[in-house]
Amino acid sequence: MFSSVHLLLLALAASTGLAAYSSDQCVCSDLKPCLDKVKATVPKCTDYCSPQLSQIGVNITEAKKCTDYYSPEFDATVKCIKEEFADSCAKSSSEAKHDIQKRDPNTLKLAVLSELNNWMTYNAPQMKSTVVQSLQFIICTKKCVDIRTSKCSDGFNCVLDLPSDQEVIKAAKTCISNNWTTAKAQDLCQCFSQAGFQSLAPVCPKIQIEPARTRHIPRNVTEMY
């Protein structure tokens, strides 16, 4: 439902089967049923946990309209990231690499959080309150997804062949830049602000995304609502 959902799905996909030792590379076709289940579960869990946002004054219906309007941009960004790491899993068992070092998924999470925290510290300290307010929703959603897909993910003893955490973040930034413009990102931010994330209001004008490859057509409020 929200942009965090897309990030959550990517994080779950990236952390599948990771631990602290080496293993064979995962085969894409083996992962697909589990990832499909995760993808189907995330919207159900965000709906289940939505009262956590209602309690802090967010209008869930209006917030959903914001992300629904920009769903093509979200989908294109996710597709771009998936294509960037298409070779992280093997096309067949005969092509799978061996003895790949498994990595702690927490290192990537910490790198992402550090990147976000640095941006907020220098550009939008007000945004931290929004993150704190949304924390219970994020925790609830992740716990819900973990519980509903535990049998699926526990069955894997393989690893994705991913680059360094910084390379993953760099690729994600590139995909965002290629599919979003500053105007679109600011518009989405303002939409969320009007839906109840009030602390975002002073943050939105500071959002900058470069380079932009497509021309932005302003959101038609009449059509959206």
Residue with the bigger pLDDT between 135 and 189: it is 189
pLDDT at 19 over 50: no
What is the pLDDT, as a whole number, of residue 21?
66
Q: pLDDT of 118-140, one tens digit each?
A: 877 776 776 777 777 788 898 99
On the question of pLDDT at 186 being above 90, the answer is: yes
144-176 confidence digits (pLDDT tens): 998 998 877 677 788 899 999 899 999 999 999
The model's pLDDT over 57-98, given as tens digits with 9 standing for 90+, comes to 999 999 999 999 999 999 999 999 999 999 999 999 999 999
Instruction: Name the average pLDDT for the chain.
Output: 81
Rounded average pLDDT over 188-210: 89
More confident residue, 179 or 117: 179
Q: What is the pLDDT of residue 116?
A: 78
- The total of structural domains in the chain comes to 1
pLDDT attached to residue 194 = 96
User: What is the 3-class SS of the chain, one letter each residue?
Assistant: CCHHHHHHHHHHHHHCCCCCCEECECEHHHHHHHHHHHHHHHHHHHHHHCHHHHCCCCCHHHHHHHHHHCHHHHHHHHHHHHHHCHHHCECCHHHCCCCEECCCHHHHHHHHHHHHHHHHHHHCCCHHHHHHHHHHHHHHHHHHHHHHHHHHHCCCCCECCCCCHHHHHHHHHHHHHHHCCHHHHHHHHHHHHHCCCHHHCCCHHHCCCCCCCCCCCCCCHHHHC
Give pLDDT, residue 3. Answer: 45
User: The domain containing residue 121 runs over which residues?
Assistant: 3-224
Which pTM does this prediction carry? 0.76
